[in-house]
Amino acid sequence: MSDRFLNTDKVDDLLDTLFLHEDVRVDLVSRLRGLVLAADPAICEEVKYGGILFSAGSPFCGIFSHPRHVMLEFSRGAELADPDHLLEGDGKKRRHLKLTVPTDLKRKKVREFVLQALAATVAVPRQRMGKKTRP
């Protein structure tokens, strides 16, 4: 079995819990999860901090369900290109998208942000702490 699916039971349990207690958010969480996992077969998921965290060598995003929305958080979101100012948050590193309806997935360019975050995470070994490694 692939490392990618070692935590599948925990993720399924979390989704089951959401389904019992929440409305449209369970659909958003399921759609977001599928979208993130489809970005690259190397992406792994785990339940942590009350949500689903995704990594590709290191964590790059997470899905968290809140009472009025679903949040897709990007570990290094402050580095992502965001010309339409869709990302929220003002911390040093993290940014997030708040989603309330399925149409937000397209309107807030979720796929594009996931791909950017993934690419930034994969590039980390080549560039640490603002210093480029020698060729």
51 Cβ contact partners less than 8 Å away, ≥ 6 residues apart:
14, 62, 63, 64, 65, 73
Q: How far apart are CA 23 and CA 3, in angstroms?
A: 31
One DSSP character per residue, 41-66 reads TT-EEEEETTEEEEESSSEEEEEEE-
Note down pLDDT in tens along the chain; length 135 residues. 444 444 566 766 666 665 555 567 888 998 999 999 999 999 999 999 889 999 998 999 999 998 889 999 999 999 999 999 999 999 999 999 999 999 999 999 999 999 999 998 877 554 444 444 444
> 54 forms bridges with which residues in the sheet?
45, 61
- What pLDDT was estimated at residue 18? 59
pTM for the structure as a whole: 0.77
Contact 29, 65 (CB under 8 A): yes
Residue partners of 75: CB distance under 8 A and separation at least 6: 58, 59, 60, 61, 62, 93, 94, 117, 121
Q: Cα–Cα distance between 110 and 97 in angstroms, integer?
A: 8
pLDDT of the residue at 134: 40
Helix (H, G, I), strand (E, B) or coil at 97: strand
pLDDT for res 63: 96
